[in-house]
Amino acid sequence: MKNKFDLSFLLSENDFLNQSDYTANKSCLVNSLESVENINDQSNGLMRLLLHSIRYEQSTEVSNSIYKYITLFGYDIPQSGNQLHRDLSLQHLRLLENIGEDSIDLAFQSRKQEPLDETSYYLRILAPFMLCDEIKDWEFYKWCALEIINYSLENGLNEITPYGCLGLSRYMITKYEDMHLAKDYAQVALSEIEKSNNKRIINNFYSDYAFIILPWLEELSVCLVMINEKFSLILKSNDNYLKGKNVKRYYQMLLFSGVNKSEALRKSHHDLENVAFDEKPIVTEILQLYQLSKMTERVNLEKVIMLIDKSPEIYEGTLLHPSLLVMKAVYINNQKESREGELRKIYDRFKYWAGYSPKLFNTWKHFVEAEWRINRDEVDLAKELYSKALKESSSNKIDLKCLVALRRLAVFSEIKKEDSDLPQFYTEAKDVYKDFGDEKAFEALINRFKSA
């Protein structure tokens, strides 16, 4: 009996494997693909297989597969370590030469479209890695992105070009490089991927852009609208994995916007689709801690430190990162430990983000500087900074106002019991909590500061 999961299945853009089918059939598919004589079909099939791999395997397993499969096309990737590091330097020089004095947009607009051929089919093996959710080896990831981009600029734009542009954009966002330049590359990626007929891939690109790139430069409301609008591309699809990914991102951004957990889930299912999604247990716990009612109760933040120290691939390049850093700053001062260097490093991160997006990050920049100053016993300056953060919180960020007002009240309730400003801090905290409208959080505030 013929296996329905064969090369023709892989080459169909509308078909996909669920996790159990992928696991059961991967070995057979790999064996059959390695013996395909038509290298165009072979590269297409392997690309489709890897687009499944990035869903169901760790990024290290995916990168190992890339190293293996790419040799079928007579191409060898520099080995990790010094060899890869040296080649990355050469890739940078190539990029500088290829871009020249042009803007990113103009550099790509000036290139013609050229189809891939037997000398460039290897690019299809690199492309899926650019859509991997969690990256452990960012150096290899960047090398793949630059190889795709440089080939495209030197030989003509092709079907793989958008993958490289999105990948480089993600790298730049994650590694604290020029955010506006990252956005330029991402917009080229979106423009190029729109030429594809694959609605699921187009949705994947826009989802990555809205969740990974855009939140650092625009209000979350803009990002939510984009995910909502582009969900229509996959609305009639049976791809519940991709649907779940969109719903999860929408849900998490609502949480970061201050919406409580139950309402965020209800709204996500209402606005997109009632489909299940996978979320790592540690992420679920952290997001629960980030709820205003939990923060008001003064929860134990040790899990935050655990995640930051052991699993950077889970949060790097997403809004979970600044949220974790804010909680880490609070945790350090709650422990009454002199860790000025760590707090200064956190402050520098927010200073960088605020440099590109003052509207989004100035409040948090003032907040974490206040935490740093508290650790240095610069109490009066810290008080000014908390108040400045509260004042600069935009009117539609009432949840943010609550967290700042809460922290200011908590800090000065402990270190200056007789502070004449405490009654005012308490009143202001109650007022912003009332405006936010979370009754559970308001009750937690009253219970915690009964003697204020």
- pLDDT digit string, tens, across residues 384-421: 999 999 988 865 566 889 999 999 999 998 886 666 88
Digit-coded pLDDT (tens) for 359-372 = 899 999 999 999 99
Least confident span in 57-66, 104-113, 242-251, 300-309: 300-309
Q: Which residue has the higher pLDDT, 273 or 417?
A: 273
- The C-alpha angle 179, 185, 189, rounded to 5 degrees, equals 135
- 323 closest CA partner among 355, 299, 349: 349
Digit-coded pLDDT (tens) for 311-336 = 899 999 999 999 999 999 999 998 88
Token pair of 257 as six digits: 């916007």
Cα 246 to Cα 104, 194, 214, 233, distances in angstroms: 28, 18, 15, 11
Average model confidence (pLDDT) across the chain: 92
Band (pLDDT 50/70/90 cuts) for residue 16 is confident
Phi-psi region of 81 (alpha: psi -120 to 50; beta: other; left: phi over 0): left
Token pair of 234 as six digits: 């996959």
Q: How many CB atoms lie within 10 A of CB 97?
A: 11
**431 in Cβ contact with 402 (< 8 Å):** no
The CATH number of the domain covering residues in 284-448 = 1.25.40
Residue ranges of alpha helices (H) inside 290-421 are 292-296, 302-310, 312-315, 320-334, 340-356, 358-375, 379-392, 398-415
Q: What percent of the chain is modeled with pLDDT above 90?
A: 72
The dihedral of CA 149, 155, 157, 160: what is its sign?
A: negative
Helix, strand, coil content of the chain in percent (nearest 5): 75, 0, 25
Helix (H, G, I), strand (E, B) or coil at 12: coil
Q: Which residue has the higher pLDDT, 13 or 290?
A: 290
pLDDT for position 452: 62
| Three-state DSSP string of 115-173 | CCCCCCCCHHHHHHHHHCCCCCCHHHHHHHHHHHHHHHHHHCECCCHHHHHHHHHHHHH
For 113, list phi and psi in degrees, rounded to 5: -85, 130
pLDDT for position 62: 96
Least confident span in 20-24, 241-245, 300-304: 300-304
Digit-coded pLDDT (tens) for 139-190 = 999 999 999 999 999 999 999 999 999 999 999 999 999 999 999 999 999 9
What is the mean pLDDT of the segment spanning 255-280?
A: 93
Residue 2: is its pLDDT beyond 60? no
Token pair of 221 as six digits: 């409301």
Residue 223: is its pLDDT beyond 90? yes
Q: Which residue has the higher pLDDT, 127 or 359?
A: 127
pLDDT for position 394: 64
Q: What percent of the chain is modeled with pLDDT above 70?
A: 95
For the chain, what are the domain ranges? 7-197, 213-279, 284-448
pLDDT for position 1: 38
d(CA 42, CA 48): 10
Band (pLDDT 50/70/90 cuts) for residue 306 is confident
